[in-house]
Homo-oligomer: A and B are copies of this chain.
Amino acid sequence: MSIEPTPLASSEDPPYTIDAVAKDKEREKLGPAEAIVSDVIGRLIEFWGFKRNMGRIWAVLYLSPDPLSAEELRKFLHLSTGAVSMTLIELLRWGVVRKVWVQGERKDFFAAEVQLWRMISRVFNEREKAEISFAIDAFEEAIHHLDTQARSGDPVVAKRAELQRERVKQLLEFAKLGKKVLDMLLSTAKVDAEPLARFLLRVSRSG
């Protein structure tokens, strides 16, 4: 139930020695809280379309008082060197983990971005916005096609095109609204959620 500090530091060891910290570094297992949190973050992140290990590694780093090396992460999470390397590269690309230089150490160390809001807005910005912009373009293209059809001679075709045009327009409006909310979130929310709220207040009157 209590944490398992390290196999080397049994409860018989004289406690509070100077190298307690050094021993702490030799820990090979996650404590229960760390295990729970890295598991749940892994799931959340997977749910969000990333790899589970991205979430798990981020979580372990987030809960670590000090930066960790790839090797330590490998041990904690029972991953292969390759997986740790690839996952860290991905996390670095997303800007949610940083390389940290540790004095006197040759290998790289890694630390989590701890500003949750900044982190999430960064990911939203790159990922959701791209997706939604693509959708908006596609809906606009579809509407263009339907306009052409609506002007075609065949009234059956024209009638269907008109109905479809309305429906795609709904999708387009919805996507644009989503994009606006996202933009707002991204540009300012890391500082303050107020602009988003103001916007929604305005929207709610017209739509």
Interface residues of A (CB under 8 A from B): 1-3, 5, 15-16, 20-21, 23-24, 31-34, 36-37, 39-41, 43-44, 47, 49, 62-63, 65, 114, 116-117, 131, 134-135, 138-139, 141-143, 145-146, 148-149, 152-157, 159-161, 163-164, 167-168, 170-171, 174, 192-194, 196-201, 203-205, 207
Contacts and interface: CB of A to CB of B under 8 A. Distances in A.
Contact of A36 (B20, B141, B197): B141
Nearest to A205: B194
A1, A3, A31, A161: most-surrounded residue (chain B CB, <10 A): A3
Contacts of A135: 40, 43-44
Given A3-B152, A16-B155, A36-B138, 7 more contacts: A3-B145, A5-B154, A5-B157, A40-B135, A41-B171, A116-B174, A197-B204
Nearest to A145: B33
19 contacts: A2-B148, A3-B149, A5-B154, A15-B154, A16-B156, A24-B160, A31-B145, A33-B161, A36-B138, A37-B168, A39-B138, A43-B135, A47-B49, A63-B167, A63-B168, A65-B164, A196-B200, A197-B197, A197-B201
A201 B152 CA distance: 49
Nearest to A154: B15
A66 to B, nearest CB: 10
A21 B197 contact: no
A32 B145 contact: yes
Contact of A156 (B24, B33, B40): B24
